[in-house]
Amino acid sequence: MSYVLVTGATGLVGAHVVNNLLSKGFRVRAVARSKDKADALLAAMPNSSRLDFFFIEDLTDPIAFDGAMKDIDGVIHLASPLKYQVDSNEKDIIIPAIQGVHSILEASSSSSIKRIVLTSSFGAVLDMGRPESTPWTYSSQDWNPITYAAASVPNATPQDAYRGSKTLAEQAAWHFIEERKPAFDLVTLCPSMVFGPLATKPQSAGELNESNMMLWKVIGPAAGAPATLPPCRFNFWIDVRDLAEIHVLALTTPAAGGNRYVPVAPEPFTYEKAAETVRREFPALAPRVACGVQEVKSHISVDAGPMERDFPCLQYTPFHQTVADFWKQLHSFV
């Protein structure tokens, strides 16, 4: 593959995926909704001569991607709504996620696409009904049992709606492959919390994704007013740069075709560990750093076998390095 379409290219993961692809010599067509964000991505990429853009306004448009596929032979589809303040779970989260997947698959069916890598979520694997005290090893065979009705009702939490949208969108993708049997194959990735520095120059802390915002919240608003540690229900995470590398490996590794993966770092995280890193690396912020104790739930794990089998050379970034790199980039906004 030589020319890759990346949707959601201006987001946290998408921008790192674009950078990774360009560094490996690929041509990249980045899908964006905002020219300002596209310009910021272009300015941040050292190999920008091989980067071009395709603009869309509405993921729910059935033909949104039809004009984007010329000469493309691989697709990485990251675009999906992640908003916790919405008017309608169904309209603002679930429908755009499912329709976006349908649109990209349909557009790819009449082109020279060889593989699509779809970014799903650990939320599509997680069963929120399973008691936290129950030992369990999650694997790519696990699915969130949430239904369309349960995810879209008005009183569903935005978090449940998001997990439902990722579950239903990924299931729709696999159903499409089974029913239509297109010329391309599909790989899906279900990462958990994604932490790390931005690939583009940040303008404020307000543009952080939901995961990085949790790292930001280990700092309190003022000296003498330390933060409270954000809740840490599970200890699964991955560095955004490692996840970008996994996307490219999923696109280019022949054995990955037709598989579903749950990429998580082997080292568990807690926000207590994040706070310790900030306190050590940025002593001037220490009076504002959250204090507290968080346990590692070692009885809940993820089966790393498929990742180790198909991507044996993958190296993972230590959590302390991820946190330090994030805060080196963002500490001026404190």
Pairing mode of beta strands 115-119, 74-77: parallel
Close Cβ partners of 167 (under 8 Å, ≥ 6 residues apart): 120, 123, 124, 143, 144, 146, 151
Predicted pLDDT at 82: 61
Place of tokens 């603002």: 92
Predicted pLDDT at 111: 81
pTM reported for the whole predicted model: 0.96
3-state helix, strand, coil in the chain (%, to 5): 45, 15, 40
Predicted pLDDT at 91: 87
Closest listed residue to residue 187, CA positions, set 244, 237, 255: 255
Q: What is the mean pLDDT of each run of 10 residues along the chain (334 residues)?
A: 94 98 98 94 95 90 90 94 71 91 93 95 94 94 96 89 95 98 98 97 90 94 78 96 99 98 98 98 94 95 98 98 98 87
Predicted pLDDT at 83: 58
Number of H helices, E strands in the chain: 11, 11
Residues in the chain: 334
Q: Report the b/e string of 8-46 with b at 16+ CB within 10 A.
A: bbbbbbbbbbbbbbbeeebbbbbbbeeeebbebbbeebe
Predicted pLDDT at 223: 66
Q: Which two tokens stand for residue 269?
A: 């995280």
